[in-house]
Amino acid sequence: MVEETRQVFEWTEHDRFLDWFAGLVDGEGSFGIQPAAKGTTWLNRLGIALREDDLDILIEIQERLGFGVVCRVSTTGPDGNGTMRWIAASHADCYKLVKVFDAHPLRAKKARDYAVWREAVIENMKPARHRDKAKLRYLEDKIQLVRSFNAPEVEEVEPDSVQLTLPNCDRPGGDRVSETQTHAQTERGEVVR
């Protein structure tokens, strides 16, 4: 009898936290590159803004990572909650984040922002006299370009001529939805039988 051997991954609590953190950054994080000291140096930062009622999450991030600051961004909003933000901005802290995200990669659109931001962090880790300011200026512009969304061009058509394919499913009350329905009918809430 041949015994199968399988590789078993031993995930630590810290690994699980860092994977969760990478996912949170993918959804709520904001990478920044900006000039400071009249353009003689550049700052990198990562911020996560959440509603005030999620303050405990930001404090846990600060405690588990061992760096960053938590601050109030805005006072009470229309829902009764203000906004709080965790920010990491020192060169050393940003470099630690590079190590985190290299080991626990971002998987959504923020991965593109991270790739540009990472280059800037690495450049900023060099002694000031060896930093390539032109490259940092370029990366500052590039992260803005990467994060902008350009919708694909769509041919203009009359709204009633657009056909939507809907699943054939039961509606409350027993109504059936047909497989195609125009956009205008959908907007008006009409059900086509």
Listed by start position, the domains of the chain span 13-147, 160-193
**What is the pTM for the complete model shown?**
0.70
Q: Which CATH architecture has domain 13-147?
A: Roll (3.10)
Higher-confidence position of 83 and 184: 83
Burial class (CB in 10 A: 0-12, 13-18, 19+), 126: exposed
Give which of 85, 29, 77, 99 is closest to 57, Cα–Cα: 85
Q: What is the mean pLDDT of residues 21-36?
A: 95
Q: What is the mean pLDDT of residues 112-131?
A: 95
pLDDT band at 39 (very low <50, low <70, confident <90, very high): confident
Residues 6 or more apart whose Cβ sits within 8 Å of residue 42:
33, 34, 35, 36, 120, 123, 124, 131, 133, 136, 139, 140
Residue 131 CA, chain-centre distance (Å), reads 28
Q: What is the mean pLDDT of the chain?
A: 79
Taking only Cα atoms into account, the Rg of the chain, rounded to an integer number of angstroms, comes to 24
